[in-house]
Amino acid sequence: MTADRAETRTRAAAPREGAPPATGRARLDSLTGLRFFAALAVFVTHSSFLLIGSASLIFPTFADPETGAAFQAWAGQAGSLGVAFFFVLSGFVLTWSARPGDRTGSFYRRRFVKILPLYYVAGAAATVLLWDLGVRWQDLLAYATFLQVWVPNPEVNFSVLTPGWSLAVEAVFYLVFPLVIGRFRRLGRGAAWTGLALSVAVAFLVPVLAYVLPAGAGELVGAPNQAGFQTWFAYVLPLGRLCDFFAGMFAALLVTSGHFPRMSLPWVLVSFVPCYVWAAESPWLFGQRAPLLVSCVLLIVAAAQRDIAGRPSFLSSSTMVLLGNVSFAFYLVHHLVLYALNTKVLHGPFGSVPMVAAYMASALLVSVGVAWLLHRYVEMPLVRRFSTPHRHTRTEVAA
């Protein structure tokens, strides 16, 4: 999950929040608002249990194991929904805001100046906070170099800062995007629909293949019957997650060309209910990857079409846009806030529902506050300083 909403709001000029994109296309404020709800979904999953440092360290929320298991069963797939949404959204907004002649160097600078500062700040905070739990230098090196997602072991994938793995996957998306956007643009309507269908089909196929692979070592907390290698292959491996990203790209091409049918936002939201039940009742890895992907694509399309038509909504309100702007920082810091409140302040796990509610509400408020500070005083100043393309950059994005 990254700060892709900036691509829908600013382009070549030094960014000013609220400035229209230089592409001349509509500002997709509803997608910015949706970002907060996607990050909130991840927060809900992590509030049901805390995976810290490695797959062997878990801090439960409920003192009663049965109650905790029931809560986790209900909330367990919310996080995978949020992650899938962010991956699809990345493909959509990068394609939406890209233009022929954009420079590869400028693109890489814009993208990495958005994710690197907060990624390293949050990683440093996690290292200090979790030092007494045992932070290995190998994990720090893997985290710093975005290599934690290339090791088939959940103890490495989710080390240092647990949500950080998805940023390492996003980095692969950014590296791939300039190589494929020009080819994708040249596709006709039929080929774009085929690309979207194949992307979704691969998302369904990858977890199925994972179940026939060797088990490997290490289990993922929350899925005690799911071995580490299978988890890595189906959920973490960037090559498999490219289908989420490509689905967003093809959807954006179909929307910009006017070939995507009009979607009803309320009905798309309703579709999440049966899909979430399907995900919750499916084998763990399949539920994390497949059932909710189509709804994510349709939700992004429906919200974008609403903005293109100039129809305001709750999602495009100033409050939701603000929350969407801080969602990247919120996504990175919420896990540390949950851990600190659970273990250092409130001394969980908790024996009552009111205590769990107080824990979650406190963690949410503190996380949003810290995220706003990071967004205001770290993310945006650096984006303003370094996002302006320099004239000496010569390498062009393929068009």
Each residue of 106-147: pLDDT tens digit? 889 888 888 999 999 999 999 999 888 878 899 999 999 999
In this prediction, residue 33 carries a pLDDT of 96
9-46 pLDDT, tens digit each: 433 333 333 333 444 577 899 999 999 999 999 999 99
Q: Are 367 and 47 in contact (CB under 8 A)?
A: no
Domain housing 242: 4-386
E-only strand ranges, 179-251: 219-220, 223-227
In this prediction, residue 278 carries a pLDDT of 93
Question: What residue type is assigned to position 357 of the chain?
Answer: A
The ranges of the chain with pLDDT < 70 are 1-24, 53-57, 214-227, 387-399
d(CA 17, CA 180): 29
* Nearest alpha-carbon partner for 395 in 77, 106, 192, 200: 106
In this prediction, residue 385 carries a pLDDT of 80
Is 212 within the bounds of a domain?
Answer: yes
Is 53 within the bounds of a domain?
Answer: yes
Is 298 within the bounds of a domain?
Answer: yes
Dihedral pair phi/psi, residue 86, rounded to 5° = -65, -40
d(CA 61, CA 85): 25
d(CA 361, CA 115): 27
Is 398 within the bounds of a domain?
Answer: no
In this prediction, residue 131 carries a pLDDT of 85
The answer for residues whose C-beta is within 8 angstroms of residue 236's C-beta and 6 or more apart is: 149, 154, 157, 165, 169
Is 396 within the bounds of a domain?
Answer: no
Q: What is the bridge-based pairing of β-strands 58-60 and 223-227?
A: unpaired
d(CA 230, CA 233): 5
In this prediction, residue 391 carries a pLDDT of 46
Is 241 within the bounds of a domain?
Answer: yes
E-only strand ranges, 20-87: 49-51, 58-60
In this prediction, residue 222 carries a pLDDT of 43
Is 269 within the bounds of a domain?
Answer: yes
CA angle 267, 269, 274 (to 5 degrees): 95
Is 319 within the bounds of a domain?
Answer: yes
What domain count does the chain have?
Answer: 1
